[in-house]
């Protein structure tokens, strides 16, 4: 860690007011006016890649608003958290979007939810709040109660879609057979070619962060966190628990770590199989769809065997896991996985025989490497554009330091390479599971003391099937978190669709959208009111069922 | 009595002319157009009378005295009316009637902008000249009326003097048609020199040596080919026809270009009996080329009238395919059928194409635009126009039981059965062409009447009564000629038999065979009517109107929604680009060299007002006529 | 005479009733089986249709009357096309050139369906109709050429004549293959269902349809699908059947022909279904490319036919 | 491999989907379903209610009837099984029952008698809980047991104060 700090001082020098080393990262305080230079220094000087912007209403701590810009130094295996403290009267800060495109959404989100003005933002439209949300009402400020439902007002900030006159538009969504969750893509087409795309998301807001900050206790949040996403829920609970553990410096027993990785990999397998099925369906190849899901079914059984539930496993608590694995379940796991591997192998090989599918995958939805870096895309999308990014390697967590596996990288930048990466990752996950099972240590699965001191910061990343999932936690009083920030992978990947869909034939637009394996409910986890109807949106316990129907 | 029959339309039209001359601006329009519609009716009656009277009656001929030049030299021309001209007169009558009635209301939109009396003058003259072309039995009269037709057409195309596009197009047309008529005149002069008389009857049975035959064939084919806008002599048409007032473009596309067909049949086939096989081959090849080319070009158009104009090229191609194919198989019965099918297609094309132009005109009349990119959704505001437009579109796409199908079916059938490899290939391509036609007209219908309008349509209602009458009249004919197609077919067969002096006994076998398709068409018609009635009277009861499914977007969808007309069939164009490459070559090697000269003219005269062109034209025609007179005097 | 017409009507009725069942069979025993599902009951298509007929009928505010008329029109015209097919290798309605009429009726029926969809004013309908028609144009070229071959070889264009006079030469065989391929294209199954492509353009021109109208549209599609299939069967396998049944005495000959042709058509239908299940959907451009590529088959056939093979 | 490999596979695998409601589906051992409440064991300590994330378990004191109700509403339950973990008397068992669609809201309601404070008469906890605590502490100070926490605190404080007002 120390060398990182030194490096930072070499690059940024006096701009750093103070620094604080936390587990897995470094927090540096800078003046708001220096922000631009600091960010430039970190992206250009240290090759940091944008991760997330966190806005904190820290008036309860030091009477100010905080904006925390997180960058990931993959090569140094650490995160840099740049903190600027803003005056509580009118919080405002220069936009960094001109420097890193990826920050576009993050800054707009902060603007929407905390009322922190972002000056010089290229696209300062409303991102998250509904069109009829009353102005000067900021849900994530502490004075805003989680159960308040403000009256819709048309005076509020309204979302103005950008449309050029000569272009012809096709609406994709909010309710479209392709999208299994409400999102609005507006494809601007010329002939059968997409020339531009307008995105309007955040229809599925559930106010989970606010809920976590206001109502739930430390050990209740994992169960809610798991319901952020219908497919990779476990990722979120692990990530949350790790963040809290990092903040409180809790030592999690080895066995618990192993079990976490084990389940994580199981989840990855079923998620990728699900995606393969969806991809086949989008390409009109329903046979492949059905067979992919046929192969997926034993994996689901396996998850239920290990955790007691097909989805939303609910075995995570701060400080460890609740449920141990026993001998015969381990044997079952090995047996089932062997079978799955054979089936899967056959599936992949016979999928290559379906020429038209392959033809459509190749060369569509191009995302060049440079754009990938600047948008800070994650997971298979990044790896498909030749970026070597994998949290399991870059910021090792759980038990991944003990297992050896290769991260598939393709530089085709198209849908084909994204598909191939997922295909290969399934093999990798299977081998990882085998290794974990061999090395599985004995011992407790829950650490004894789970005391959580107040106002400590924890940051943690987990490699979800869709990419890096990030949670940031400030611990609070009365065994409640002060601030809990979730950033799902799709949050960084969806903006990159603008690039991918450009000049892409209309027939492949759905595939391209699907190729980032978007998880909209992850992305939209935030606010209280549903954009479309302006009505309350119930927390959906049956996300899997919804996705399962497809 | 008979004499006056032939002359009756002429007298009527002359009266119309007088009206147009004496009456002022808008007052001239109604009487002139009314009289010309009456004249058209008389034409129809006359033609039917001729076609139905049995063959033994000799051809109606009459003498027309015209005072020419100085009072002392007097020239008598003979008019004649045989089945061939009668058939074309029938067509002319139908189109003329429709467009005259339509014009009564339509031309009012130019009130105060252009001189309506001038219009009525030109229009009546145009009708008259076309009629004269058909009935003249004399080389000189033929040429005079031919030139008259050309000029009046020019005036009508350039009617919107203010629009430069129109002027350019008109000039282009004029220059091209002059180069065409120049060739025709040349060949007629040759004939005249050979026969020594200007009367057609003297040309009959003129025995020519081979070289002369081929020379004449070439001259006539190119000369009339330009008038008929056969590829590659076509490129004046897509510019000129859209520019004229819609009812005039109906007359132009509906009839004027078919005078070329008449000319070819009259001179090369009926009178001179040139080498049928070679002629047929040339015509059929030109025909199929124009069919494919014109239609595939029409596929890309985003201007409704231009689209139709290109289709005129395509459909003329169909006609020539039929006639040429027939000539190739001449002694064979199928040949007779093919030619008569071609003739039949002349009639049908006249009907549905003029109907199409009229509907396009109605859209212009109400919305004021013919750009398919901004039109749309008119079906709910202009139902009758929509119905007639869709009938015409389906008919031109050869959809049973409409008239377009009958003639296409006969052409394709007779060519396919003729075991002649070339013709079989042509026919199979013709099937392909009709698919293209269908697609391009679905585009026209959807972008004009059905899909989302780009402009907001407010207080648009259907067109005034005269226009509606004209449209309904033609759409009714579309159905009638389609279902009972053997009636007009008999007429054409008879005409053809008269051309070829062929006996119809063998042909009658087909007529007997036709019985079944009639029953089937009846069945089809009944089913269609039943489904229409059922869906309108039972289903509509239950219908509940809901907003368009906009995928759950809260704000109504963006204004420009859907596919612009430009982006229809882009994939097809991309994949089947060879037919478009062909266009490229044609332009590079044939058309551009030709047109460049005309365009030079245009550019030089562009600065000057239209009247300068007119002066040029008038001088030109005087010269031609003078030459002819002198020649006739000399001999 | 009357008897003949009556029997024709009866035969057509039987087939019209059987077509949804045929679809059900395909769904149950081909699709579901290959996707290792239990699958719906055989009569599922009927259940769907009945349900649709019961449902209320929604019409978008932007639609014109054509929206309501079109589905039934396209259905009835496709049924009318059913009357042309010589089920017993002879047809009281048959006449010289009914083959051409048949083709134009197919075009009519599909175009009417498209126009209906278009009149809803939904942008996706436009996209899909543009796709469908591009495919139609491409496939008509294919068809026209193969018909030219048949015309040359049989020197007749009446389906009943063609189907009762066997001509087996290389060129005709190639033409028959082309017709099978044509049937595959026109059946609007994957990979050629680009016009309905559910995930891409939300079932295209059917998007605004619901209730009885949707039922009619679906029926029309099914009938067209069957028509193209049986067209192939009649033209290519008909002669063989006539060879086989030439020995059978006249009274039951017609019946056997009918049954044989029915069975063969159904088998072909199911074979095409199987072929579609193991295909993905083409991109529009790919679909057109493939059709263009296979156009060489009828071209070769035509050259052969002209040479006299 | 050719396309036919799909058909081959399908034939060899056979039908894998099930006619579920009519067929029994085997779910693995230890998967978490409906929690079962043993009202005979429950002492109403409301530990389960505290850990319950979605508020599926609620504890309500009905003072005028003098009972404490432990309500469980399956509609909110996420089947995490925390309640079973924290229950001191293991009155809650997690079953494998997962077919939970009923017409009416399924509620388990356990009614437990509340004890009144022998001093102020305020009811503060259930009898069973009291007995449970007794069992734990064994020979404690029985007279304090029947007092509510407030009275107990008062009593304790008073016990330090001498009648004279001075502190012991």
What digits encode the pLDDT tens for the residues B151-177?
888 888 888 777 777 777 787 787 778
* C280/A284 touch (CB, cutoff 8 Å), yes or no: yes
pLDDT band at B592 (very low <50, low <70, confident <90, very high): low
pLDDT band, residue B71 (cuts 50/70/90) = very low
Whether D166 is in a domain gets the answer: no
| Pairing status of strand D92-94 against strand D107-116 | unpaired
B291-331: per-residue pLDDT in tens? 888 888 888 888 888 888 889 988 999 999 999 998 888 87
Chain B and chain C share a number of CB contacts under 8 A equal to: 257
**CB of C100 within 8 Å of any CB in chain B?**
yes
Mean pLDDT confidence for B479-502: 80
For the ranges A246-250, B205-209, D96-100, the maximum mean pLDDT occurs at A246-250
**Rounded-to-integer distance, Cα A139 and Cα A135, Å:** 11
Q: Indicate the Cα dihedral angle B267, B271, B276, B281, nearest 10°.
A: 10
Q: Residue for token digits 């309860």?
A: A60
What does the pLDDT read at residue C226?
92
Assign domain A2-127 to its CATH superfamily: NADH:ubiquinone oxidoreductase Nqo5 subunit (3.30.460.80)
CA distance linking residue A386 with residue A408, whole number of Å: 10
| pLDDT per residue as tens digits for the range A261-283 | 989 999 999 889 988 888 888 88
CATH number of the domain at D134, please: 3.30.70.20
C-beta neighbour count of B461 within 10 angstroms: 9
SS3 A116: coil
End-to-end CA gap in chain C: 39
Out of A26-35, A237-246, B32-41, D101-110, least confident range? D101-110
For residue B615, the model assigns a pLDDT of 52
Instruction: Say which residue, C286 or A536, is predicted with more confidence.
Output: C286
Q: What is the pLDDT of residue D103?
A: 64
**Packing angle between helix C2-25 and helix C211-232, nearest 10 degrees?**
110
pLDDT for B513: 65
Quick check: do D and B touch, 3+ CB pairs under 8 A? no
Judging contacts by C-beta atoms under 8 Å, the chain A residues touching residue B563 are 168, 189
Mean per-residue pLDDT of chain A: 81
pLDDT tens sequence across B44-55: 888 888 877 765
- pLDDT tens track for A183-212: 777 777 776 678 778 777 777 777 788 888
Average pLDDT over residues B220-231: 84
The shortest CB-CB distance from A285 to any of C36, C194, C280 is to C280
Give mean pLDDT, residues A459-475.
Answer: 88
Q: Which of residues 223-252 of C touch B (CB under 8 A)?
A: none
Tell me what pLDDT residue C268 has: 92
Shortest Cα distance, chain B CAs vs residue A171, angstroms: 7
Asked if the structure places residue B156 within a domain, the reply is no
Residue A282, chain C, CB below 8 Å: the answer is: yes
What's the pLDDT score for residue B599? 53
Rounded to the nearest 10 degrees, how much is the dihedral formed by the CA atoms of B450, B454, B460, B462? -30
Range of the domain at D31: 27-157
- Partners of B171 in beta bridges: none
Over residues B123-161, the pLDDT tens digits come to 888 888 888 888 888 887 888 888 888 888 888 888 877
Chain C hits for A178, CB-CB cut-off 8 Å, are 199-200
How many CB atoms are closer than 10 A to CB B593?
10
Residue A157 has pLDDT above 70, yes or no: no
D84 located within any domain: yes
> What's the number of domains chain D is made of?
1
Whether the CB of D28 is below 8 Å from some CB of chain A: the reply is yes
**CB atoms near residue B163 (< 10 Å):** 12
* pLDDT higher than threshold 50 for residue A176: yes
Searching chain D, which residue's CA lies closest to the CA of residue C278? Answer: D3
Chains D and A, touching by 3 or more CB pairs within 8 angstroms: yes
Report the alpha-carbon distance of residue B110 to residue B248 in Å, rounded: 13
* Minimal C-alpha gap between D6 and chain A (Å): 7
- Contact check, Cβ <8 Å, A354/C286: no
Q: What percent of chain D has pLDDT over 90?
A: 0
% pLDDT > 70, chain B: 79
Burial class (CB in 10 A: 0-12, 13-18, 19+), B586: middle
Domain ranges of chain A: 2-127, 208-488
Residue D151 lies in a domain: yes
Q: Which chain C residues are within 8 Å of D18, Cβ to Cβ?
A: 38
pLDDT tens digits along A471-522: 888 888 888 888 888 888 888 888 888 888 888 887 788 888 888 777 766 6
Q: Using an 8 Å CB-CB cutoff, list chain A residues near C194.
A: 507
pLDDT at position C206 is 87
Let me know: does C116 contact C72? Beta carbons within 8 Å.
no
Instruction: Give the number of other CB atoms < 10 A from CB of residue A224.
Output: 25
- pLDDT above 90 covers a percentage of chain B that reads 5
Q: Which chains touch A (3 or more CB pairs under 8 A)?
A: B, C, D
User: What's the average pLDDT block by block, 10 residues per block, for chain C (309 residues)?
Assistant: 81 88 91 89 91 86 84 89 83 81 89 88 82 87 89 84 84 90 89 81 83 89 91 87 80 83 91 89 85 86 85
Mutation choice for A interface testing from D51, D78, D94 by most A CBs within 10 A: D78
What is the reported pTM?
Answer: 0.84
pLDDT tens for A18-76 read: 888 888 888 888 888 888 888 888 888 788 888 888 888 888 888 888 889 988 888 88
Residue D46 inside a domain? The answer is yes
Question: Is residue D9 domain-resident?
Answer: no
CA distances from C39 to B361, D6, D17, D154 (A): 55, 17, 9, 74
CATH of range A208-488; options 3.10.580.10, 1.10.645.10, 1.10.150.120, 1.10.3720.10: 1.10.645.10
| Domain-located, residue B68 | no
State the pLDDT confidence band at B561, using cuts at 50, 70 and 90. Answer: low
Q: Are strands A92-94 and A117-119 parallel, antiparallel or unpaired?
A: parallel
ipTM topping 0.85: no
Whether residue A530 is predicted with pLDDT greater than 50 in this model: the reply is: no
Question: What's residue B618's pLDDT?
Answer: 59
C160: closest CA among C77, C239, C81? C239
Residue A412, pLDDT > 60, answer yes
CA B107 to chain centre: 20
Give the one of A286, A356, A507 whose C-beta lies nearest to C200's C-beta. A507
Return d(Cα A312, Cα A308) in angstroms, integer: 10
Q: What is the model's pLDDT at position B588?
A: 63
Determine the pLDDT at residue A541: 35
B384 backbone φψ class: left, alpha, beta (φ>0; ψ -120 to 50): alpha
Q: Are B438 and B349 a contacting pair, CB within 8 Å?
A: no
- pLDDT at site B65: 60
Given CA atoms B155, B156, B159, B164 in this order, what sign does their dihedral have?
Answer: negative
- C-alpha B453/C-alpha B457 separation (Å) is 7
Inter-chain residue contact C284 with A505, CB threshold 8 Å? yes
Instruction: Check CB contact of B209 with chain A, cutoff 8 Å.
Output: no
pLDDT score, position B511? 64
Q: How confident is the model at residue B609 (pLDDT cuts 50, 70, 90)?
A: very low
Alpha-carbon radius of gyration of chain D: 26
DSSP 8-state secondary structure symbol assigned to residue A187: E
Report pLDDT digits (tens) over B331-381: 777 888 888 889 899 999 999 999 999 998 888 888 888 888 777 778 888
**CA dist., res. A5 & res. A23, Å (int):** 13
Give pLDDT tens digits for A82-137: 888 888 888 888 888 888 888 888 888 888 888 888 888 888 777 777 777 777 78
Each residue's pLDDT tens digit, D112-152 = 788 777 777 777 778 788 778 777 776 656 666 777 777 77
B567 near A CB under 8 A: yes
* Per-residue pLDDT at C267: 92
pLDDT at C182 (0 to 100): 92
Q: Between these two residues, C175 and B115, which has the higher pLDDT value?
A: C175
DSSP character at residue A42: I
pLDDT at res. B4 = 52
CA A132 – CA B93 distance, rounded (Å): 65
Asked if A541's CB is within 8 angstroms of D32's CB, the reply is no
> What are the tens digits of pLDDT across the range A415-452?
888 888 899 999 989 999 988 888 888 888 888 877 88
């Amino acid at each position: 860690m120390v060398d990182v700090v030194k490096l930072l001082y070499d690059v940024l020098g006096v701009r750093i007011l103070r620094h604080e080393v936390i587990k897995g990262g470094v927090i540096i305080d800078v003046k708001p006016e220096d922000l631009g230079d600091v960010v430039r220094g970190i992206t250009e000087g240290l090759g940091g890649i944008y991760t997330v912007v966190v806005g904190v209403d820290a008036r309860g701590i030091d009477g100010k608003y905080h904006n925390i810009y997180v960058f990931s130094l993959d090569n140094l295996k650490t995160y840099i958290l740049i903190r600027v403290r803003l005056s509580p009267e009118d919080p405002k800060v220069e936009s960094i979007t001109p420097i890193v495109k990826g920050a576009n959404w993050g800054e707009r989100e902060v603007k929407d939810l905390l009322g922190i003005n972002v000056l010089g933002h290229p696209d300062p439209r409303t991102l998250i709040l509904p069109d009829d949300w009353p102005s000067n009402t900021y849900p994530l400020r502490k004075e805003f109660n989680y159960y308040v439902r403000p009256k819709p007002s048309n005076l509020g900030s309204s979302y103005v879609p950008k449309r050029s006159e000569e272009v012809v538009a096709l609406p994709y969504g909010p309710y479209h057979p392709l999208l299994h969750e409400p999102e609005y893509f507006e494809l601007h087409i010329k002939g059968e070619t997409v020339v531009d795309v307008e995105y309007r998301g955040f229809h599925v807001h559930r106010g989970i962060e606010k809920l976590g900050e206001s109502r739930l206790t430390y050990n209740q949040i994992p169960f809610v966190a798991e319901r952020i996403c219908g497919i990779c829920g476990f990722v979120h609970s692990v990530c949350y628990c790790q963040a809290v553990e990092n903040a409180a410096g809790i030592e999690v027993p080895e066995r618990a770590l192993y079990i976490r990785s084990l389940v994580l990999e199981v989840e990855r397998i079923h998620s990728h199989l699900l995606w393969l099925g969806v991809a086949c369906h989008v390409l009109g190849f329903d046979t492949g769809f059905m067979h992919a899901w046929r192969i997926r079914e034993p994996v689901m059984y396996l998850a239920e065997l290990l955790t007691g539930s097909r989805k939303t496993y609910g075995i995570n608590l701060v400080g460890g896991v609740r449920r141990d694995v026993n001998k015969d379940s381990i044997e079952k796991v090995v047996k089932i996985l062997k079978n799955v591997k054979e089936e899967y192998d056959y599936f992949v090989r016979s999928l290559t025989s379906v020429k038209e599918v392959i033809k459509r995958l190749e060369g569509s939805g191009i995302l060049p490497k440079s754009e990938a870096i600047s948008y800070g895309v994650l997971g298979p999308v990044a790896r498909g554009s030749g970026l070597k990014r994998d949290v399991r390697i870059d910021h090792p967590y759980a038990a991944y330091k003990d297992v050896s596996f290769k991260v598939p990288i393709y530089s085709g930048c198209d849908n084909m390479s994204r598909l191939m990466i997922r295909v290969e990752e399934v093999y990798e996950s299977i081998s990882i599971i085998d290794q974990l099972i061999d090395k599985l240590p004995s011992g407790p699965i829950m650490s004894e003391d789970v005391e959580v001191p107040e106002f400590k910061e924890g940051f943690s990343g987990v490699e979800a099937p869709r990419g890096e999932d990030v949670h940031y936690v400030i611990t609070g009083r009365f065994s409640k978190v002060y601030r809990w920030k979730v950033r799902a992978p799709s949050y960084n990947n969806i903006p990159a669709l603008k690039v991918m869909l450009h000049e892409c034939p209309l027939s492949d637009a759905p595939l391209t959208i699907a190729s980032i394996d978007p998880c909209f409910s992850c992305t939209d986890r935030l606010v209280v009111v549903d954009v479309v109807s302006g009505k309350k949106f119930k927390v959906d316990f049956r996300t899997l069922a919804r996705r399962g129907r497809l | 009595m008979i004499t006056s029959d032939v002359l009756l339309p002429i007298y009527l039209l002359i009266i119309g002319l007088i009206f147009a001359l004496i009456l002022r601006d808008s007052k001239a329009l109604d009487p002139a157009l009314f009289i010309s519609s009456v004249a058209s009716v008389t034409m129809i009656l006359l033609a039917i009378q001729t076609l139905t009277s049995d063959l033994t009656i000799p051809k109606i001929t009459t003498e027309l005295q015209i005072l020419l030049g100085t009072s002392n030299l007097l020239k008598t021309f003979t008019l004649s009316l045989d089945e061939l001209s009668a058939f074309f007169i029938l067509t002319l009558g139908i189109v003329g009637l429709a467009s005259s009635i339509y014009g009564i209301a339509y031309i009012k939109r130019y009130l105060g902008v252009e001189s309506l009396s001038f219009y009525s003058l030109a229009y009546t003259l145009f009708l008259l000249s076309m009629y004269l072309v058909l009935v003249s039995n004399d080389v000189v009269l033929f040429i005079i009326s031919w030139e008259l037709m050309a000029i009046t057409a020019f005036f009508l195309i350039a009617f919107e003097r203010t629009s430069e596009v129109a002027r350019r197009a008109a000039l282009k047309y004029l220059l091209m048609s002059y180069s065409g008529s120049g060739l025709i005149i040349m060949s007629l002069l040759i004939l005249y020199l050979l026969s020594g008389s200007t009367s057609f009857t003297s040309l009959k049975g003129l025995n020519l040596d081979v070289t002369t035959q081929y020379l004449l064939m070439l001259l006539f084919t190119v000369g009339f080919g330009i008038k008929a806008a056969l590829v590659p002599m076509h490129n004046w048409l897509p510019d000129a026809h859209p520019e004229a007032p819609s009812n005039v473009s109906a007359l132009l596309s509906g009839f004027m270009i078919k005078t070329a067909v008449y000319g070819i049949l009259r001179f090369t086939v009926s009178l001179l009996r040139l080498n049928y096989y070679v002629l047929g081959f040339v015509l059929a090849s030109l025909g199929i080329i124009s069919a494919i080319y014109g239609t595939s070009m029409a596929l890309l158009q985003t201007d409704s009238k231009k689209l139709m104009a290109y289709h005129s090229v395509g459909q003329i191609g169909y006609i020539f395919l039929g006639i040429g194919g027939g000539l190739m198989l001449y002694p064979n019965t199928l040949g007779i059928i093919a030619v008569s099918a071609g003739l039949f297609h002349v009639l049908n094309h006249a009907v549905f194409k003029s109907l199409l132009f009229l509907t396009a005109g109605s859209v212009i009349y109400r919305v004021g635009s013919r750009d398919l990119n901004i039109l749309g959704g008119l079906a709910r505001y202009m139902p009758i126009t929509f119905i007639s437009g869709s009938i015409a579109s389906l008919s031109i796409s050869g959809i049973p039981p409409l008239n377009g199908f009958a003639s296409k079916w006969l052409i394709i059938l007779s060519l396919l059965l003729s075991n002649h490899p070339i013709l079989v290939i042509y026919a199979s391509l013709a099937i392909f062409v009709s698919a293209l036609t269908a697609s391009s007209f679905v585009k026209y219908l959807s972008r004009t009447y059905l899909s989302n309008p780009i402009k907001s349509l407010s207080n648009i209602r259907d067109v005034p009564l005269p226009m509606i009458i004209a449209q309904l009249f033609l759409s009714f004919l579309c159905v009638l000629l389609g279902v009972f197609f053997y009636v007009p077919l008999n007429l054409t067969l008879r005409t053809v038999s008269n051309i070829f002096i062929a006996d119809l006994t063998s042909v009658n076998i087909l007529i007997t065979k036709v019985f079944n398709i009639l029953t089937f068409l009846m069945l089809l018609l009944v089913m269609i009517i039943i489904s229409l009635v059922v869906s309108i009277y039972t289903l509509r009861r239950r219908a509940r109107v809901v907003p368009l499914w906009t995928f759950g977007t809260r704000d109504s969808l963006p204004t420009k929604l859907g596919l612009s007309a430009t982006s229809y069939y882009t994939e097809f164009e991309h994949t089947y680009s060879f037919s478009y490459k062909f266009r490229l070559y044609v332009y590079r090697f044939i058309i551009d060299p030709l047109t460049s000269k005309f365009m030079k003219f245009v550019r030089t005269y562009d600065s000057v007002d239209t009247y300068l062109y007119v002066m040029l034209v008038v001088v030109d025609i005087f010269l031609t006529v003078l030459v002819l007179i002198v020649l006739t005097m000399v001999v | 005479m009357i008897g003949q017409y009556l029997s024709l009507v009866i035969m057509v009725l039987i087939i019209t009733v059987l077509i949804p069942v045929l679809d059900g069979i395909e769904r149950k025993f081909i699709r579901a089986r290959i996707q290792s599902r239990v699958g719906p009951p055989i009569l599922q298509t009927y259940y769907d249709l009945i349900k649709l007929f019961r449902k209320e009928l929604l019409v978008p505010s932007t639609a014109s009357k054509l929206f309501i008329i079109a589905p039934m029109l396209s259905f009835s015209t496709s049924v009318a096309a059913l009357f042309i097919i010589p089920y017993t290798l002879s047809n009281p309605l048959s006449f010289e050139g009914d083959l051409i009429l048949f083709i134009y009726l197919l075009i009519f029926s599909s175009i009417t369906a498209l126009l209906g969809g278009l009149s809803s004013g939904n942008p996706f309908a436009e996209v899909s109709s543009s796709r469908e028609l591009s495919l139609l144009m491409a496939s008509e070229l294919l068809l026209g050429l193969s018909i030219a071959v048949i015309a040359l070889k049989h020197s007749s264009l009446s389906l009943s004549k063609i189907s009762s006079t066997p001509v087996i030469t290389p060129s005709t065989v190639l033409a028959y293959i082309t017709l099978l391929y044509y049937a595959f294209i026109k059946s609007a199954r994957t990979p050629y269902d680009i016009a309905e492509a559910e995930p891409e353009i939300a079932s295209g021109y059917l998007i605004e349809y619901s209730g009885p109208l949707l039922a009619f549209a679906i029926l029309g599609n099914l009938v067209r699908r069957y028509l193209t299939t049986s067209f192939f069967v009649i033209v290519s396998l008909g002669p063989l059947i006539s060879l086989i049944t030439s020995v059978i005495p006249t009274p039951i000959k017609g019946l056997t022909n009918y049954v044989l042709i029915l069975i063969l058509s159904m088998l072909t239908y199911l074979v095409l279904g199987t072929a579609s299940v193991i295909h993905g959907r083409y991109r529009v451009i790919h679909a057109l490319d493939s059709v263009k590529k296979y156009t060489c088959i009828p071209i070769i056939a035509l050259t052969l036919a002209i040479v006299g093979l | 491999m050719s396309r036919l490999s799909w058909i081959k596979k399908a034939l060899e695998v056979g039908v894998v989907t099930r006619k579920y409601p009519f067929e029994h589906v085997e779910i693995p051992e230890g998967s978490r379903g409906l929690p079962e409440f043993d009202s005979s064991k429950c002492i109403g300590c409301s530990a389960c209610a505290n850990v319950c994330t979605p508020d599926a378990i609620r504890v309500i004191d009905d003072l005028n009837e003098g009972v404490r109700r432990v309500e469980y509403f399956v509609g909110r339950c996420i089947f995490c099984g925390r309640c079973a973990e924290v229950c001191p008397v293991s009155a809650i068992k997690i079953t494998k029952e997962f077919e939970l669609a009923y017409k009416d809201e399924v509620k388990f309601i356990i009614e437990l008698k509340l004890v009144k404070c022998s001093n102020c008469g305020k009811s503060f906890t259930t009898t069973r809980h009291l007995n449970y605590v007794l069992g734990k502490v064994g020979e404690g100070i029985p007279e304090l047991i029947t007092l509510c926490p407030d009275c107990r605190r008062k009593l304790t404080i008073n016990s330090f104060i001498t009648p004279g007002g001075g502190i012991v």
